Structure 1
Amino acid sequence: MDKKEEKKMEAYIYGGIFALSNKLQLLGDKFDSNISTKQWFLIAIIASFKYEAPTISMTAERMGTSRQNVKKMASILERRGFLVIVKDKEDGRIQRLELTKYCTDYFEQRMESEEKYIENLFADFDEEMLLGVFKGIKQLEKNIMVLEKQNEEES
Structure 2
Amino acid sequence: MGQREQEQFIFANIFLLANKLQLIGDSLMEETTLKQWFLLIMIKTMQKEQPSISEISDFTGNTRQNTKKMLENLARKGYVTIEKSTVDNRALCVSLTEKCFEYFVVNEKSGNEFLDKVFKNIDKEKLTIVIEFFEQLFQNIDKFNGSKEVKYD
TM-score by length of 1: 0.90
User: How many residues are aligned here?
Assistant: 147
Name 2:10's counterpart in structure 1. 13
Deviations 1:28-83 (CA, angstroms, capped at 9, x unpaired):
10111311011011101111121322110011011111001111111111011000
| Moved segments of 4+, more than 3 Å | none
In the alignment, is residue 102 of structure 1 matched against residue 99 of structure 2? yes
Partner of 1:61: 58
**TM-score, with structure 2 as normaliser:** 0.91
Identify which of 82, 89, 93 aligns with 2:90: 93
Identity %: 35
> Gaps (5+ residues) in structure 2?
148-153
| Cα distance in 2 for residues equivalent to 1:39 and 1:51 | 18
Report the counterpart of residue 128 of structure 1 in structure 2: 125
Q: Is residue 81 from structure 1 mapped to residue 96 from structure 2 by the alignment? A: no
Q: CA deviation at 1:92?
A: 1.9
RMSD value over aligned CA atoms?
1.3
Structure-1 separation of matches of 2:39 and 2:65: 13
Q: Which consecutive unaligned segments of at least 5 residues does structure 1 have?
A: 151-155
Match 1:149 to one of 143, 146, 149: 146
